[in-house]
Amino acid sequence: MSTFQFVARQSNGTSIEGVLEVATRRDGLAELARRSLIPIRLQEVKESRRETVRVSTNSLATAYELLADLLESGVPLLRSLDALSEQCSDVRLATVVGQLRARVADGSSLAEAMGGYPEIFPDIVISAVNAGEEGGFLEQSLRRLSHLFRKQAELRSRVLGAMAYPAFLLIVGSVIVVAMLVFFVPRFEPLFARMRENGSLPLPTILLLSFSDSLRSLLPILAVVGVALIPVFRLLTASPGWRKWRDRALIQAPVIGPIVRSLAISRFCRLLGTLLSNGVSVMKSLQIAKTATGNLVLIEAISRAAESVSAGGTLSEPLARSGQFPRDILEIVSVGEQANRLDSVLLNVAERLELRTHRQLDVAVKLLEPLMMMLMAVLVGFVVIALLLPVFDGAGGLS
């Protein structure tokens, strides 16, 4: 099979772009004719020219929901993929859907076709779609995936939105302070030269001028060292030991630690609950869902829990022994296991944790903003006072 990129015109005169997976160019023209498309350009894409495609989470969630609607309405899978390719607002996703359609037409299952694009369709999508195809509930699986991706996008947007203003304050405040020390403070040194020689310069002013001189002389060196340390930092952050230390420090940090922990556990619970709801086995679900935490400490705790489950044990007990999961959450999970309702219980736990995280995040941001404002006020106030003290001392001496 070869990949052909096409530009064609629909019956209403609008142009459409996409990709076909066919054996020859003639087969590609025949496929366009079957779709009632007038070919404008049909060009083979060499493997070396294929690029990694990135698609937004919201676009994927919309695509899963639309495909689920089409399938529930009784539209066959191939025609549903055609309609999805035409209605996708994201051109890159429309191209990929066209490639999926070609592979499905050649006899592959939808899950197998998606497996060729791991950068777009992660393991959870492939596993859920595969379970849905085998169990005859593909549309339900796609709808659950749509809900999952929308929740993830909503949570990510909320966290980024909450941290945007504190990050802005930190960046702008740091730039202002550094600019004052590098460009503004040195202008006062000639005015204070005689007082420095006489030893009458106030201590805050001496400290300010000394720090400004040191910063100006070290700034180029710090910039060069910072650039040189970037590859070293990347190597360091890639090592499992450093990542584990960082992840442990994050979840144990005051204020931010409970937020990071709740976010990680909520992602794990929602992903695990979605997989179990889609008929994926417990062991495979745990293997996929543990990576959603993004924290090595929690991943190790879940891996040990998976070993217990494979040996016939429960999930809640080894998670409790790890000391990384809240007791109230573990109690709910234990009840869900006993009632054989673990999938729905995990989704409810995810909702509860997300609400708790939202509250914690709001409180942390409300505390962080005034603290940062106070810090900036102290720094700027110290600079101003240090520069005005010699003026006041000189005025006092004259009087």
Domain ranges of the chain: 1-50, 153-399
Q: What is the pLDDT of residue 43?
A: 77
Q: How many CA atoms lie within 13 A of 153 on its CB side?
A: 14
Mean pLDDT computed over 315-327: 87
- Mean residue pLDDT of the chain comes to 83
Q: What is the pLDDT of residue 45?
A: 66
Q: pLDDT band at 163, cuts 50/70/90?
A: confident
Q: How many CA atoms lie within 13 A of 62 on its CB side?
A: 13
Are 68 and 84 contacting, i.e. CB atoms less than 8 angstroms apart?
A: no
Euclidean distance between CA atoms 306 and 251, whole angstroms: 22
Q: What are the pLDDT digits (tens) for 111-125?
A: 888 888 888 888 888
Cα Rg for the chain, rounded, in angstroms? 30
Q: Is the pLDDT of residue 97 over 50?
A: yes
Residue in 82, 62, 109 with CA at minimum distance from that of residue 20? 82
Residue in 256, 250, 252 with CA at minimum distance from that of residue 368? 256
Q: Is the pLDDT of residue 396 over 70?
A: no
Q: What are the pLDDT digits (tens) for 336-346?
A: 888 888 888 99
Q: For residues 200 and 77, which has the higher predicted lDDT (pLDDT)?
A: 77
Q: What is the pLDDT of residue 88?
A: 82
* Percent of the residues in the chain that have a pLDDT greater than 90, as a whole number: 4
- Order of strands, edge to edge, in the sheet holding 15-22? 15-22, 2-9, 38-45
Are 369 and 166 contacting, i.e. CB atoms less than 8 angstroms apart?
A: yes
CA dihedral 237, 240, 245, 251 (to 10 degrees): 90
Sign of the CA dihedral with 393 first, then 394, 398, and 399 last = negative
* Percent of the residues in the chain that have a pLDDT greater than 70, as a whole number: 94
| Phi, psi dihedrals of residue 201, rounded to the nearest 5° | -75, 130
Query: Which amino acid type is present at position 360?
Result: Q
Q: What is the pLDDT of residue 361?
A: 82
Residue 226, Cα to own-chain centre: how many angstroms? 26
Q: What is the pLDDT of residue 173?
A: 85
Neighbours of 64 (CB within 10 A): 25
Residue in 49, 92, 85 with CA at minimum distance from that of residue 67? 85
Range with the poorest average pLDDT among 15-19, 30-34, 316-320, 371-375: 15-19
Neighbours of 142 (CB within 10 A): 26
Q: What is the pLDDT of residue 53?
A: 61
Q: What are the pLDDT digits (tens) for 39-94?
A: 878 877 654 444 556 788 888 889 999 999 999 989 899 999 988 888 887 888 88
Q: Is the pLDDT of residue 143 over 60?
A: yes
Residue in 99, 80, 79, 88 with CA at minimum distance from that of residue 142? 80
Neighbours of 114 (CB within 10 A): 21
Q: What is the pLDDT of residue 399?
A: 41
Q: Is the pLDDT of residue 393 over 80?
A: no
Euclidean distance between CA atoms 133 and 140, whole angstroms: 10
Residue in 96, 142, 143 with CA at minimum distance from that of residue 120? 96
| Phi, psi dihedrals of residue 330, rounded to the nearest 5° | -65, -35
Query: Cα–Cα distances in Å, from 20 out to 1, 42, 49, 103, 237?
Result: 10, 9, 15, 9, 41
Q: What is the pLDDT of residue 34?
A: 79
